[in-house]
Amino acid sequence: MLDENTFFDSYTRIFGKAVKIDATGNRFFTEFYRRFLECSDDVAEAFKNTDMAVQENMLKRSLLYGVNFGDNMNYFDALHRIAVSHNKAHYDIKPALYDLWLDCMVATVGEFDPEFSDDVELAWRLAFAKSITYMKFLYDK
């Protein structure tokens, strides 16, 4: 059953207990970006000049900003900066691409979490819902 532990239990099965994801998480991020780049030409275009090894490491360090957004001001400020860098005036990441991002994230969780289920999928979607709403909201602000 879905409860307040469902997300972090899944996170722990994939990455371990430490908040800071260690090198064992690398495969997850490689696989996530492989999927994400393949799912749309717009995504491939957005990353055409990006060193994907750097990008994988960046998401490994910043994943929880997206989850904890709204819980305290440190996470708010961090995600606010990310939302501004992605908006129309900067990287110009179209709002629809965040839905693809989440679909690819959930598909990757499905591959790496041995206890993946509909509840786990929903928990991951809910965990990123607020931050993705905020990033879309800031697109043209």
Contact positions vs ligand HEM (CB under 6 A): 43, 46-47, 49-50, 55, 58, 62, 65-66, 82, 85-86, 91, 93, 97-98, 101, 128, 131-132, 135
Closest CB to ligand HEM among residues 74, 115: 74
Query: Are the CB atoms for 128 and 67 separated by under 8 Å?
Result: yes
Query: Are the CB atoms for 60 and 26 separated by under 8 Å?
Result: yes
Closest CB to ligand HEM among residues 4, 41: 41
Query: Are the CB atoms for 28 and 108 separated by under 8 Å?
Result: yes
Closest CB to ligand HEM among residues 57, 114: 57
**CB of residue 132 vs ligand HEM: minimum separation in angstroms?**
5
**CB of residue 42 vs ligand HEM: minimum separation in angstroms?**
7
Closest CB to ligand HEM among residues 91, 137: 91
CA atoms of 90 and 81, how far apart (whole Å): 11
Helical spans, DSSP H, in 1-141 = 6-15, 26-39, 41-46, 52-68, 73-86, 96-112, 118-137
